[in-house]
Amino acid sequence: MIDPGTRLPSIADEDRAPSGDPPYLFPDYRSTPSRSPRNPLLILPRTLSETTGPAFGESAVEPDDADLTSQHAGDPLGERIVVSGRVVDDRGHPVRNTLVEIWQANAAGRYAHQVDQHPAPLDPNFTGAGRCLTDEDGHYRFVTIKPGAYPWGNHPNAWRPQHIHFSLFGRAFTERLVTQMYFPGDPLLEFDPIYHSIREEKARHLLISSFDWETTTPDWALGYRFDIVLGGRTATPTEAD
Amino acid sequence: MTLPLTPSQTVGPYFAIGLARRTENQLVPSGSEGAIVLEGHVMDADGAPVPDAMVEIWQADASGAYDGAFGWGRSGTDAEGFYSFSTVKPGSVDGQAPHLSMLVFMRGLLKAVLTRVYFADEEESNAADPVLGGLPEDSRRLLVATGDGGVYRFDVRMQGENETPFFTL
């Protein structure tokens, strides 16, 4: 604990390491200039407020929450897929019983959200939202359909690559992560400013799921695997931490 | 050797499908004994309301204990950029002044911003708080929710003259 009156150290956002997180200001993604902070970030000491986080129990999820194809009367249109993976900390230890939330467009690339009015059909059998808890070994599993690509207004002829949004909690509020999972071989990735806001190629690749024979189910669904590593989003590398 | 962390991406404009399905801004029923309201606006660089932000809080209970089952909440913002929580005022943790942790997510924000919310009617403990005291004097007020007793206001300004102080670890 530091003494009151001692200035907190600060760090410019662009100098943050080692996380592969994107910077706040990334002008190629045109919504960032007016929504990104400009002052240096203050480095917080790790008190209980930073090292604790919410715990979610079974009451946070309902049986159909992990199967996005079974939430309505009929089957949604599109390519049925199994999306699964393991949530671990930066030492590879499983993050157990943590809440995983996903949301996505339907197979036509349309979100069941009133703001999305682009001319692609809604699917009455698909909402596109799911939740589950990781198991004792950190595993999660969703059944869904492959989301379509869709146009957006960022620049002329801009299209988002196919993706599924992920939200995770981890063991501390400061490990909280919202990210997007992409699909291997998507030709739109090369042109997507949101994907490219992550500066290092190796870090970007962490968001691309892999096609997975192990979870591909004969005559039923293709499997994609997306593993997630959570940790304190530190400003600088710390020894033996 | 540690594993590289999975990078962050924006929550985008459509998160309400997945993240606003339940009412999660009532940590305690509003109007119940000991309940306070924490509310405010989220504003962009031009002071314009951010109508598509998501605000999350994490806090100790009234006795200053973090127990996991209590203390987390989530509120979207409305067309005026307004968010609101019903909760209790947290107790003091480890000699720090009563405070909440707050994360704000929105389209155009590639990773969440982290801040803290203190309370204007805790002058004495605020003056001794190591985090608040670690800020330049003229920006401390930007982390202090105004009000007393029942309703506290805390605005988040993403940028500009009164940019909210944001933290990292």
Q: Determine, yes or no, domain membership for B3.
A: no
Distance of CA B129 to the CA centre of its chain: 17
Contact B4 A53 (CB under 8 A): no
Residue with tokens 């009156």: A5
Look at residues A230, A119, A105 and name the one whose alpha carbon lies nearest to residue A164: A105
What pTM, to 2 d.p., does this model score?
A: 0.96
Q: What is the pLDDT of residues A56-103, one digit of tens each?
A: 988 899 989 999 999 999 999 999 999 999 999 999 999 999 999 999
Q: Determine, yes or no, domain membership for B74.
A: yes
pLDDT value at position A241? Answer: 38
The Cα angle at residue A174 between residues A46 and B97, in degrees rounded to 5 = 50
User: Smallest Cβ distance to B17: which of A1, A92, A129?
Assistant: A129
How long is chain A? 241
Q: How far apart are CA B90 and CA B60, in angstroms?
A: 5
Contact A235 B116 (CB under 8 A): no
Q: Determine, yes or no, domain membership for B68.
A: yes
pLDDT value at position A239? Answer: 42
Q: Which residues of chain B have pLDDT under 70?
A: none
Residue with tokens 């089952």: B69
Tell me the ipTM for this assembly. Answer: 0.96
Residues in a beta bridge with B144: B118
Q: Determine, yes or no, domain membership for B169.
A: no
CATH number at residue B34: 2.60.130.10
The enclosing H or E element of B17 equals: helix B16-19
Residues in a beta bridge with B38: B85, B152
CB A21 within 8 A of CB B111: yes
Q: How far apart are CA B70 and CA B88, in angstroms?
A: 10
Q: Is A111 a catalytic residue?
A: yes
Q: Which domains does chain A have, with CATH numbers?
A: 11-230 (2.60.130.10)
Among candidate residues A29, A86, A110, A150, the one labeled active-site is: A150
The number of distinct structural domains making up chain B is: 1
User: Smallest Cβ distance to A103: which of B15, B71, B93?
Assistant: B15
Give alpha helix (H) positions in A22-154: 48-51
Range of the domain at B116: 16-154
Q: Which residues of chain A have pLDDT under 50?
A: 237-241
pLDDT value at position B149? Answer: 77
Q: How far apart are CA B70 and CA B92, in angstroms?
A: 16
User: Smallest Cβ distance to A55: which of B13, B69, B99?
Assistant: B69
Q: Determine, yes or no, domain membership for B10.
A: no
Look at residues A130, A62, A135 and name the one whose alpha carbon lies nearest to residue A97: A135
Q: Determine, yes or no, domain membership for B101.
A: yes
B126 interaction partners in chain A (CB closer than 8 Å): none
Q: What is the pLDDT of residues B2-37, one digit of tens each?
A: 899 999 999 999 999 999 888 999 999 999 999 999
Residue B91 touches partner A, C-beta closer than 8 Å: no
Q: Determine, yes or no, domain membership for B162.
A: no
Q: Where are the beta strands (DSSP E) in A54-135?
A: 80-89, 99-104, 129-133
Among chain A residues, the shortest Cα distance to B67 is held by A54
Among candidate residues A16, A141, A165, A225, the one labeled active-site is: A165
Q: Which residues numbered 40-59 in B keep a CB inside 8 Å of some CB on A?
A: 44-46, 50, 52, 56, 58
Q: Determine, yes or no, domain membership for B22.
A: yes
The DSSP bridge pattern shows strands A80-89 and A222-225 to be: parallel
